[in-house]
Each structure stands twice: as C-alpha cells, then as structure tokens.
Amino acid sequence: MDAAHETITVDRVHGTAGELVLRRTGPHHEIISNGVFLMDTRDGASERLLVTAALDHHTPPAAVLIGGLGVGFTLHAATRHPAAGTITVIEREPAVITWNRTHLRRHNHGALDDPRVRVHQADLHTWLRTTTDTYDVICIDTDNGPDWTVTDDNARLYRTPGLSLAAARLTPHGTLAVWSAAPSPAFHRRLQDRFAHVTTRTVPTRHGPPDVIYLARHPVAHTTPHNF
C-alpha cells in the first residue's frame, strides 16, 4: 500500500463510553467509537453548517452551546461567525478534547484557544438538566443522528423530554440545531410537536444519504418532565 494511503492508529483509549480510536490516513484523521465510524476530517461542510445556519438568525453577541466537539469543525465555524459571542462546548470524552488540542489542532485551526471558548468535560443531557444558563443557539452533534446514537442513553436527547430540556435552555428567540447523518422523519415530527418553526438543510455526501441539519425555533409551551 502507498504510504500516503496507509491507515495508522494514532491513539487508542478506553473512554467513558467504551473504546475510542484516532486513526490517520495521509493528512486526514478519523475517530472510531467501539468499532463504529463517527467522523473524519475529509470535509466538514455539514458540521460547519450546523452552527452557521443557526447563527445566521441572530445578532451579536449570541451565546452558543455546542454539544459534541468532534474534530472541531463546528467550533471553528462558530469562532469565525460574526454573530458569535461566548461559546460553550460540552464533550463527554476527555480524549476528544485532548486530540483537538494536539493531533486535530491543524484541522480546527486552534479554535480551543479562542478566548470566548469554554470547554467542559461533561454529558450533554446532564448539562442541559442541571445548568441555569441560557443560550441563543444550541447545536447537538453528539451522535450519527437521532436514529444512530453512540450510546443507548444518548437517545434521550432526541426524544420529546430531551427536546424539552434543550428548549428550556434556549433564550426566547433561540435556535436549536441538530446534526444527522440521514433524514429522520420521526425526529422531524417530534421537533414539529415541540417547536413552532422547523426547517431542514441538507448536504450531499460522497456515499449514502445526505447529511441533514434540523433547525428549530420558537418552542411551544410544554412542561419539562422532572428526573428525566
């Protein structure tokens, strides 16, 4: 095999949700969770759109919450958007934070060094349930989508109670943006039940269905269930 196309393991760790592997092929990196491909650095168009499409609805300084650091594409796009103010990043896996400061730094252009950025190693659902902060934009990219979650407990983020948690942490005119590797009609319906205005943006991929960005605004009044 050509050395430029050889895949090598850069790091392998036991994370909070199982095995995490960082691999490199030529100039590109990819993250594998428990043997399942999560993301790579080959494109990132939809990950960037996740935050830019949401921030386009807002004026500065918009408070941003990003759930899921990934390879840093969403965070980098947030730091470059003129509407962005403070940017809070919630990432459950310590290794992903470390990789973004080291091996992935050139892909995210050192976005973690931006003085507006605060990174917390935490579970997103727990953060939404316990924080008292509110945000103009909440971006969720912790999984391959509502129907293909990294762990079983992440599915609660995409159910109606989880959407209610996110809605409760939005400012009155805030935007919830959710990334998915494929369309999810059932999730779309749940968003429409919980928000008055829901739109989608699609980004073609090299193989398979397009990536989908769900944008939801104007929460419908609901009572957030306790202890969920």
Residues with a known catalytic role: 141
Asked if 47 and 58 touch (Cβ cutoff 8 Å), the reply is no
Of 137, 200, 131, the closest CA to residue 165 belongs to: 131
How far is residue 228's CA from residue 216's CA, in Å, rounded to a whole number? 21
Asked if residues 139 and 51 have their Cβ atoms less than 8 Å apart, the reply is: yes
Beta carbons within 10 angstroms of residue 125's beta carbon: 22
Beta bridge partners of 14: 19
- Across 73-109, b (16+ Cβ under 10 Å) vs e yields bbbbbbbebebbbbbbbbbbbebbbebbeebbeebbe
State how far Cα 130 lies from the chain centre. Answer: 19
Residue 163 burial (CB count, 10 A): 25
- Residues forming beta bridges with residue 89, ordered by sequence position: 66, 119
How is residue 183 written in tokens? 């369309």
- Pairing outcome for strands 211-219 and 195-203: antiparallel
